[in-house]
Every structure is written in structure tokens, then in C-alpha cells.
Structure 1
Amino acid sequence: MTKFTKISVAALLSSTMITSAAFAAPNVPEGTELADDQTFTYRVLDEHSSVDPQVVEDVTGSEIVRDLFEGLMNQDADGNLIPGVATGYEASEDKQTYTFTLREDAKWSNGDPVTANDFVYAWKRAVDPALASPYQWFMELMSIENAAAIIAGEMEPSELGVTAVDDYTFEVKLSAPLPYFPQMTTHATTFPAPQAVIEEHGDDWTKPENIVSNGAYVLTEHLPNERSTRERNEMYWDNENTIIEKTVALVINDENVALTRYLAGELDRTEIPAGQYPQLSEEYPDQATSFPRLCNYYYTFNVSDSGPEAFKDVNVRKALAMAVDRDIIVEKVMQGGQPPAYTFTPAAVAGFEPPALEWAGMDQAERDQMAKDLLAEAGYGPDNPLEFEMVYNTSDDHEKVAVALSQMWKSKLGVQATLANMEWKVFLEERGNQNFEMARGAWCGDYNEASTFLDLLDSDSGYNDGKYSNARVDELLAEAKTSDDTSPLYTEVEEILNEEMPVIPVYHYAGVYMLDTDLGGWPVDNVEQNWYSKDLYKIAE
């Protein structure tokens, strides 16, 4: 076994062990007076998908799950790996066996110890076809031995390459070395699950009256489409260093209503509505903030058998992509510091070098002319206008972007795009079942590596909603999982995507928030924005 004593995102490719010495409680500046009321209240756009670690599939749900449950590893304010339930790990010389040492003081909220068997159960549960986890593909991406065959129904979940060597030693066998494997253990799907509670209550196990969790908080209230509340877990191993007593997530579908409630003092954090950051940053310079995030915003074409015939023509797809004036979207519509996107993978991803794309260097007039020529070549024009429906989940910001895109296509190309919005869960289901023509998409990285984005366009990806398929892309992505130099592989994938345009990259995210001045500890330097309430604190005003 090889060992080391410090870990960071940059060091992951060459390092194999961490120690608990790097872990610390929230870093409250000396002399800071803490508020008497340690309640953190924030706004979410939609009802979360679930708080079951192996079922949750959305960002807001994952935020709640990171408070309720704790996995092997956590992240610090800069995105570096730090101990969670695991105090460290060792990797074999061939990097295909990882052995995690678990802390013996980790407990479930009912007082039971957290053991390696809880991870074995959870990971086998995640790949079990009977559960049909939306993120079972993630477990396959982790290269866990036999995961792919189990998910395909060819082997039993009991054959997954995970073992409880003893109560506090968890062993994982991989089918091939994966340089960023440790980073992936911060994802909710890999968190432990309480087998006895799940078997007793079934699908109802996540209700506040039933749930048992091992994170810094417990779920004490859930009113669907209204709010959820989590409060400190007295059994959490580091409870004495937790400051926030209660975290409340309020579902507010309208960004402007949320801003009004924030300004009235009802919220500690909310997203800034599109177009309002410049004014708010002048009025509230100590509260309005914008910083890079590891997320992309795009529209995907349905190129499956159920999709429109027009979208099977690459010239149509490229024409629509080129006619999008991204500078107008980010500078006039969003106005929050978002960078325009010409690649699917954000430039903020560690170690990723965006390829030089010819059309990205053109001015918009040149792109528009190319778009007109391509659409005409595909047989569309004034006598045969292109028509399709574009769908997005309900949100003022998403509507503004959709309206802007449809207007660009109409004025430049004569395209008739009909807009339709859907409630979040309906949208996810319809998009996942290819019941759309063009659909909004967005993805926030599950770990800081280009594959977390590009794997979405692998032929077998569970989130390849448009059913794009390219054998060379699949080959390159598979090769990247064991390569010491992934950059040329990812560059080639992006070049293929540029030629075939299965999606329209629009912009890459920025975190554009109003953050109350009495909220301390927000991790603005973590581009993944994996935040934990236990690392926050409220300052006396």
C-alpha cells in the first residue's frame, strides 16, 4: 500500500491516502460574535426529488442529503477532500483496491454505530435494478467491480466489489484504475443507508417521523412544495463543533418573490433574478455576489426515434446553435457574470483545456450567415419554415432565456419555436422518456473532472436525454477512465460534439446570490458548491 498525508483536488491524480489532521470545524474568525439565533433559511426553486441518498437526483435535494447523511469523504471550502465518516484511505499499487478506515465515533441519529456494512448495503442498493436508482449509472462510472453487469441484470447485487472487512474497514475493488475515484465518494449516491429502517418502513422511511440519518442534521419537518427543516443531530460525531442549529429550505417558485422576501429579512440566501445583478451589486455591494460554478446550461435535441426528423440533420442542429447570440444571453438577459458557452464542459473544470473552435472565434454576424446557409442546405426557409417545441422547467429565468432563443431563431432564420414550461418532476419524467423535441438541460458537476459532464453524452448514460450516440465518443470516454493524460481525449470529444452538435451550449453558470451579511462560512471558492450547514454560522448584527 502507498500512503500520503495531505489531499487536494490537484493532488488526487497522484495521491492515495489522507489523514484526519486536515479536518477542522468551521473557521470562525477570531473576535466574531455569534448570533443567538443560529437558524439558516434559504430559498429553493422547486420541491426536491427525494432525501433518499440512493434516489435523489437534483441539486437542491442533494444539498439536503449532504446535511442529513455523511459519506466517506467531504469537501472543504475550497473543494479539497477532507475526512467524513472515513478518516483516511489506502490504495493498492495497481490502484484497483481502495481500503477506507472508518471513524469509530460515527453514529446514526438513533444512536447505532455507523459501520462498513452500512456502506456495503447502500452501494449494493444503488446498483440494484429493483431500486432503479436514477444515479445507478454513476456507480458504474466509478468502475466498481461488477457494477455494470449488476445494473444490466446479468449478476446479483451481492456480487458488487465492496466488502466490510470489519466494522470499521470498507474495501472497494475496481474493474480498472480510476484516477478521480476518491472525489466521487462525496456524491450522495455513495452515502450510507440504514438497512433496518428501510426494511421496516419501505418508501416511507424518509418521512420525518421515520428517517434515521448519520449527518450533522436530522429531518424534522417536510411540507411538500412549501418547506423542509433539518435540525442538529445530537448523535453526530462532531456535533460539538456544529454552530447552525436549524436549516430551513423554503420552496419559492418565483425568483422575484424570493428576492422580495430576502430584502424583507425572511431569507439568508436567495438567487438573484436574471438581469438584476448589476443594480443589486450597486445597492447592496456587501450582499450581492457572483462567482464561477461547475455547471453548464444548454438545450438538447431529441435525436431518438421519437424526435423530430429535422433534428436528425446535423445542419439543422448546427444552424440553431450558431444563431444563438450568447453575449446577449449573458450580458443582457442573465447579467450575473456567467461566461458564454461554446463547449459542453465549463472552462472552470480542473485540468480541462477547451479546444479552439473556429466558430467560437467568429463575430455573431458571421455565425448568423453560416446558420442561414446551413438551414437552407437542410431544406428549410420561407417556403418551408422549421417548427418545433422547446420545453423548460417552470422558472422566470428559464423563460427569459427560452424567449430570447426563440426570438433569435425567428428573426434570423424564420424558425417557429413554441415554448412550453413544466413543473420540475413532470419535466424530469418527460425529458427522461424522450417526450420532447428540444428541452432545456443543465448539469452541475458531481466531481471536478471533465468526465462528469462529457459522460452525459455517452450512448449508455442514464441522463443522455436526447439519446445521442457516437461510437468514437464512447471509446474516448472509456479510454479516459484509465488514462494518465486525459486532456487530448476530452479535447477530441468536444471537437466531435462541435461537429455533430447534439446539444446547444448556452452559458456556464455563476453563483449569483444575495448572501446576508450575518451569514458566515459560505464556500464561494468551491466551484462545485458542495456546501454543508455544519460549516456555516450566523454573526451577531
Structure 2
Amino acid sequence: MRFSRISSIASLGVISALALSACGGGTGSSGGQADASAIITADSVEPQHPLVPTDTNENGGGVVVENIFNGLISYDENGKVENDLAESIDSTDQQNWTIKIKKDKKFTNGEPVTAKSFVDSWNFGAAAKNAQASSSFFSPIEGYDAVSAEGATEDKMSGLKVVDDTTFTVKLSSPESDFGQRLGYTAYAPLPESAFKDIKAFGENPVGYGPYKMAKQGAWQHNTQIDLVKNDDYDGPEKAKNGGITFKLYQNPDTAYQDLLANNLDVLQQIPATDLGTYKDDLPDRNLDKPYAGIQTIAIPEYLKNWSGEAGKLRRQALSKAIDRDEITKVILNNTRKPATDLTAPVLEGYKDDLQNSDNTKFNKDEAKKLWDEAEKIQPYDKSEKFTIGYNADAGGHKKWVDAVTNQLKNNLGIEAEGKSYATFKELRTETTAGKLTGAVRSGWLADYPSMYNFMGPIFTKGADSNDSRYDNPEFEATLSEGLKAKDQSEAHKKFQEADSMLLEDLPAIPLWYQQANVGWSENVQNVKSSWNGTPMYYNVEKTS
């Protein structure tokens, strides 16, 4: 694998990114004649927020948004960057960037896509008054602090300048080596001018530039389904091979799986945990099992009494050592996951499985109890605060593994522990985002772009939108920053590994296992593949009956 600076080849209109090493996925051919106009069906859950790219940072809305809104670049199956709306992305110093977009592109409402479309969208996403969930993705841009601070009156970042209809410049506060690589994440997608007239209404019926568009006004039937149709005017690297996608919004993952078995659902993006032992027999030649850039963790808010300060850190270390990941991934998850030894993912360049402090992820019952007792000497555990792990019941089949983890904690530490079920992912994320959790929460990460930094910056830096534990460590953030400023691959990886090691000591989130895409599909479709980040490549799916 090779890391190339964006500027080294950007003048050719191509951007080089990290190549991911992963097992290949299946294609699932039914052998029939494909119908390019046929609608495929896929599963999802009710999105947490309106379908606005800068306000979507969870999978329920993300899987829809990423099929409607494409931006400067796209990522292929293995995470390699391909230009989409970008003509070129240039920088000689990794701090000052010149971005040129392709001419004559249009949003699905007919508005032209211009340089101003990007600048306006990014400024909107960053401004505090708009309270967008992905605002921190704009934090590297000069002037972000002035627009993002509470009570800020400024709403335009000084680092963004429109040069002409197809050119804009970006000045970062300091050099960041992977900035150009991030620009395929949906937060960086452009928005039409009409979006800013009523962003709430826009989120119900969004308009973008991508392989799909909303089927009609009211295509989002809340808690039921979201209907997308092919955008015939899109001519980027993700041009659809089907007529559209109907996302069915399930309340129960088992229902989705039964629909798949009955051919009433075409693509299931993740087999429920309860069926991981049988799905390959249930779906012969219609399944794949592929590692991707994702991790499952448990975040423990440091605003909870039992989990603050030095005692809280020792207790988190104790919990981590009290979990037998090998047993759970083998018995509960049927070897479809790999026990985690850090907080990134093995498919990323720079990953290392024997970092300093990685021993905190190894099962050791005696050491776990010793750490717990040390914490007791500093601050006795308040037993009125029962230890719970919050999880959503509408997708993924998380109950089974949550129960296994809490049983191990009870047996190995002698504490009261149990799962806390939330009916929907939206409810879980709403309470988590608001900082109102009363216990731990199922967290984890699905990469936005292929970089180790993406597994740390948006999750563990102070004020980050996905910082569920409210972790705050200036030394950690300084080390991350050094990695971004690194001038070569090895230096960047070394700094990111150091930052990862700090997380393994403090454990604001306890790493459980690295994710794998366990996708299934019906007898009615073919050419089903999973992308570098585990999401099915819906645009590539063909319907045959």
C-alpha cells in the first residue's frame, strides 16, 4: 500500500488515497437478465435528523444521504479516490488548496452546481447558529472558530473564497495531510441555493447531485420507507445500474431478515447477530463476509459519577479486561468479527495490533478485579448507579452480544450490569447526543473516509459531534495534530499510533471487535458488493426479476 500526497498527481485530475487491504466480496448472480429500470429494496432505520448532509452523522440517515448527495470525490470498492464533481484538487503545502469543479453540472432541481454551492454549504455546516451534527468536519478551515463559537455572529469562514463559477480556494489553520482525502464524505457535498430558504423543509425532500434523487414530494414516509429513483443526469463514477432504491425502515432486524428469506427484501446491509450462524446456509451464493473500516465499542460518559477522574479510568480498564472478546466473537458472533486491540481498523494503512497499552484489551479476570479494587480505594463505587449498556433494538440484533458482555461483567467483576434497550436508533442517538445518558452506550464507528485520523478526530476530540464519552485530553489532541502535519507516511502513522495508544490507556470507549460486512440478498438481484466502509454499493446492484 502507498500513501501519496494529493498535490503530487492532482494536476492530472486524479487524487490518490489509501488502498485498503480486505477480503473480496461476492457478486451474487441470479443468472437473469438485468432490468435497468427496476427498483431494488433495501433495509434501513428511521433517520435521526432531516436528510441534510451537514446534519447527518448516523447510519440511518447516512445510507440515504450518501446516495443522493455526491461531492468532489467518491471512493471505490477498495477506498481508492475517484474524482466526481472535482476537476482537480491541488495543494503544494497541505494548507492552501485550490479546487476546480467540472462545468455544466446540475442539481436534480435544475440549479447549477458551482463553486459557490460548495462554499455556501460548508459555511452553513460550520456556523453555530445552524447546529449541524457534522460541523466539526469543517474545523480545520481558517475562521471556523469565529463561526462555530456559541453566540457567534459570523457565518462565513475566512478560509473559503470563491474565485469563479468553477473554482474556490480553501485555507486551513495549519497543514493537514489528509484533507483532500476527506472530501468524499457527505458533509462536504454541495447544496443548492433553494436549500437555505427553508432547511427543515429541504431535509424532508432533499435535492442533490448523486446517482439517485427523491422519487417525489413526500417520498420519505416516516418510520415506513424512503423512495429514491435513479438520477439520469448523474454521470459520475457511481452511475446507477437500477431504477431506484426503496429503503424500508424496520423496527426489528429479525423482520428484515425474514423478508429477505421470503424475497420481499432485496439487500440486507447487516445480518442480525441472531442469524450469523445460519445465514450462509440460508442464503447460499447470496451472501458475503468482508472486513471493512468499522469497529464496535462501548462508550462510557465521563460525566457519570462512577466514571470520572482516575477512579473512572481504572474502572474502564477493569471493564475492558473483564470482557472475553474471543469467546463472544466465537460463540455469539460465529467468528464474523475479530477481537479489537485498538480503536481504528485493520484494513487501514498504519494499523498496528500491538500498540502500547493494547494489553488493556486482553481478557484477564484477575487483573480486572485488581484494577477495580484500586479504583475503590480512590472513590467507592456508587451502587445506586447501575451499570447499563444502551443499544437500539431496531437494527443489528445487538441484544444478544450486549447480554453476553453484561453477563461477563457480572461474573468477572461482581457488579450489577444489564442492557438497556431503546426502541429505535434515533432515540438512542438523540439521548446520547444530548449528553443525557445514565450509563454506557453501544457506540463504534463506520469510517467516513479511509484514514486512521477519522477513527479518532471526530470521536475523541473535545466538542466533536460524535464524542459520546465527552473525552477531553489536550495531549491526545496535540499528538493527532502532529500526525496531520506530518510530511511523510511513516511520520504520520507514528503520531496516529501514539494517539491511539493514549486512547487505549484512558479508554473513553472500550474497543470490542472490528466489524465485518455480513450482507445478504434476495434471489431477485445480482452484482451485490460491499464497499470499503461496509455499506452495500447499491448503485451497482442489478435486479433480474
1:528 match: 533
2: CA distance between counterparts of 1:354 and 1:310?
A: 28
Scaled by the length of structure 1, what TM-score is found?
0.87
Q: d(CA) in 1 for partners of 2:532 and 2:238?
A: 28
**Where do 1:161-310 residues align within 5 Å?**
161-199=159-197, 201-208=198-205, 211-220=206-215, 221-237=219-235, 242-270=240-268, 271-304=270-303
User: SS state of the match for residue 229, structure 1?
Assistant: strand
CA displacement at 1:38 relative to structure 2 = 2.3
| C-alpha contact (below 8 Å) 1:72/1:186 kept by paired residues | yes
Which secondary structure does the structure 1 equivalent of 2:8 belong to? coil
**Contact 1:518–1:540 (CA under 8 A) maintained in structure 2:** yes
Residue type of the alignment partner of 1:413? L
The match for 2:365 is 368
How far apart, CA to CA, are the structure 1 residues paired with 2:105 and 2:6? Answer: 28
Aligned-partner Cα distance in 2 for 1:169–1:69: 20
Q: CA deviation at 1:363?
A: 7.1
- 1:498 alignment partner in structure 2: 504
Q: Secondary structure of 1:253's match?
A: coil
State the one-letter code of the partner of 1:540: T
Task: Quote the Cα distance in structure 2 between the aligned partners of 1:171 and 1:531.
Answer: 33
Residue 429 of structure 1: CA displacement?
2.4
Matches within 5 A, 1:86-165: 86-91=86-91, 93-140=92-139, 143-152=140-149, 156-165=154-163
Q: Report if the CA contact (8 A) 2:355-2:497 is conserved.
A: no
Report the RMSD for the aligned CA atoms in angstroms.
3.0
Can you list the C-alpha shifts for 1:41-63, whole angstroms capped at 9, x where unaligned?
11114445331112112123222
1:481 maps onto 2:484 in alignment: yes
- 2:544 is aligned with what amino acid? A
Q: Is the 8 A contact 2:274 2:397 kept in 1?
A: no
Give, in whole Å, the separation in 2 of the partners of 1:42 and 1:466: 32
Change (3 A) 1:226 1:312: farther
1:5 corresponds to which residue? none
**2:40 is aligned with what amino acid?**
F
Is the deviation greater in 511-520 or in 309-318?
309-318
Q: Decide whether the 8 Å contact of 1:390 with 1:440 is kept in 2.
A: yes
Amino acid aligned to 2:317: K
CA contact (8 A) 2:340 2:513 kept: yes
Aligned length: 518
**CA-CA distance at 1:517 after TM superposition:** 5.6
2:38 partner letter: Q
- Structure 1: where are the runs of 5+ without partners? 1-7
Higher mean displacement: 515-524 or 398-407:
515-524
1:538 aligns with 2:542: yes
Q: What secondary structure does 1:267 align onto? A: coil
Uncovered stretches (5+) of structure 2, i.e. residues with no partner: 17-26
Contact 2:226 2:246 in 1 (8 A): yes
State the TM-score, normalized to the length of structure 2: 0.87
SS in 2 for 1:130: helix
| Counterparts of 1:491 and 1:443, CA distance in 2 | 17
Structure 1 position 306, deviation (Å): 5.9
Q: 1 CA distance for matches of 2:306 and 2:119? A: 40
1:52 pairs with 2:76: no
Is 1:340 the counterpart of 2:339? The answer is yes
Task: Supply the AA of the counterpart residue of 1:473.
Answer: F
The aligned residue for residue 414 of structure 2 is 414
Are 2:374 and 1:377 aligned? yes
CA contact (8 A) 1:87 1:103 kept: yes
CA shift digits 1:140-189 (9 cap, x unpaired): 1xx21212332125672223312221111122222222111122111111
Question: Any idea what the Cα deviations from partners look like across 1:105-151, whole Å, max 9, x if unmatched?
Answer: 311112222111111110110111111111111111xx212123321
**Is 1:79 aligned to 2:79, yes or no?**
yes
Q: Which amino acid aligns with 2:160?
A: V
Q: What SS does the aligned partner of 1:313 have?
A: helix
Percent identity reads: 22
